[in-house]
């Protein structure tokens, strides 16, 4: 029987992925964990434990006592937050991964999932249809940590046989959690402002095109990768992953027919520099070839669904208070 531990479960990806994992493995087989004890209320459908991923011994104790067989390691300091505290982000993003790679080796875990990012690419990488093996010279603290993490994942697989699997996520857009400190978070916050009848200030230029993905596709890709037979996994650093690309202006124009009075202004800040070093679109040929990846959502369908479902989510959250 599989026993699944999710670290950083209260984040944007973890909130939805954890729920999907309970549908796959059952409520008793999934343990959500987060450093924030208040996050327990988010997970009525499975067990929850308070867990600091920097505490290696506490991690070890949890994996041993709970007979954990799989870990989805999602705890991280995201790109925009990492630029404010680069040394802290390095310690959290790198040390926690190394803790879990060592524990995966010690306990012979069936699988370890760790998300990487398009932030591993840099200004010298091809901007359009960036290939899997493109030059990687990241210029952000987040990208540096993710690239180092990819190499450690490949190393632990090669040297010790750890079945670690990873995806280079583009910007992720969901409505079941608030933005968590990423450079692409504008694409989440803009929906909240539109529904609230407020204008929106974009911290990126109107023409800044970036690879993006709607959360259901991110969940689909994570599960497809983890459920793929081991002999189908040819990349042990991290797979390129793609769905759609758009700019703040294109997203705004897509929302405008639903809210004709909605207004946007553009006031780029330090996050613009981060975005300028990233690709505009991604070539994910290897993921499509190895484990049959294909996204379900393009921009119009995503906008329609979020504007339909987000008000329900907001009302549900208010009723819980």
Can you give the pLDDT at residue 25? 97
pLDDT tens, the chain, 321 aa long: 899 999 999 998 999 999 999 999 999 999 999 999 999 999 999 999 999 999 999 999 999 999 999 999 999 998 889 999 999 999 999 999 999 999 999 999 999 999 999 999 999 999 999 999 999 999 999 999 999 999 999 999 999 999 999 999 999 999 887 777 788 999 999 999 999 999 999 999 999 999 999 999 999 999 999 999 999 999 999 999 999 999 999 999 999 999 999 999 999 999 999 999 999 999 999 999 999 999 999 999 999 999 999 999 888 777 665
Among residues 142, 175, 252, 297, the one annotated as catalytic is: 142
Can you give the pLDDT at residue 19? 96
Q: Is the dihedral of CA 15, 19, 24, 30 positive or negative?
A: positive
Measured CA to CA, the distance from residue 53 to residue 98 in angstroms comes to 10
pTM of the model: 0.94
Rg for the chain, CA atoms, rounded: 19
Closest by CA to 46, choosing from 16, 70, 85, 75, is: 16
| 142 is annotated as an active-site residue | yes
Find all residues with CB under 8 Å of 295, minimum gap 6, and list them.
213, 214, 217, 220, 221, 242, 243, 244
Domain ranges of the chain: 4-172+213-240, 175-210+244-277+298-320
Q: Which CATH class for the 4-172+213-240 domain?
A: alpha beta
Residue 273 tokens read as: 């520099």
Can you give the pLDDT at residue 181? 75
């Amino acid at each position: 029987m599989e026993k699944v531990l999710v670290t950083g479960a209260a984040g944007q990806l973890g909130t939805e992925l954890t729920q999907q994992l309970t549908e796959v493995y059952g409520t008793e087989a999934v343990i959500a964990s987060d450093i924030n004890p208040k996050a327990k209320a988010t997970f009525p459908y499975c067990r929850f434990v308070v867990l600091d991923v920097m505490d290696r011994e506490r991690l070890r104790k949890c994996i041993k006592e709970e007979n954990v067989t799989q870990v989805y390691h999602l705890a991280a300091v995201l790109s925009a937050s990492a630029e404010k505290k680069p040394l802290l982000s390095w310690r959290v993003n790198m040390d926690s991964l190394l803790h879990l790679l060592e524990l995966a080796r010690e306990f012979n875990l069936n699988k370890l999932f760790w998300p990487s990012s398009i932030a591993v690419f840099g200004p010298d990488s091809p901007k359009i249809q960036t290939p899997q093996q493109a030059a990687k010279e990241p210029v952000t603290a987040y990208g540096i940590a993710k690239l180092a993490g990819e190499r450690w994942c490949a190393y632990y697989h090669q040297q010790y046989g750890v079945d670690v699997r990873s995806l280079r996520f583009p910007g992720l857009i969901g409505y079941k959690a608030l933005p968590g400190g990423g450079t692409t978070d504008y694409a989440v916050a803009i929906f909240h402002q539109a529904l609230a009848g407020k204008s929106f200030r974009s911290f990126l230029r109107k023409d800044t095109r970036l690879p993006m993905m709607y959360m259901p596709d991110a969940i689909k890709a994570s599960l497809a990768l983890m459920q793929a037979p081991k002999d189908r996994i040819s990349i042990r650093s991290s797979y390129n992953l793609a769905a759609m690309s758009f700019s703040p202006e294109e997203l705004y124009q897509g929302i405008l027919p639903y809210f004709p009075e909605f207004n946007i202004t553009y006031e780029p800040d330090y996050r613009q520099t981060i975005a300028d070093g990233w690709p505009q679109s991604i070539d994910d040929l290897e993921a499509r070839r190895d484990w049959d990846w294909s996204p379900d959502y393009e921009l119009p369908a995503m906008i329609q669904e979020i504007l339909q479902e987000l008000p329900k989510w907001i009302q549900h959250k208010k009723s819980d208070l």
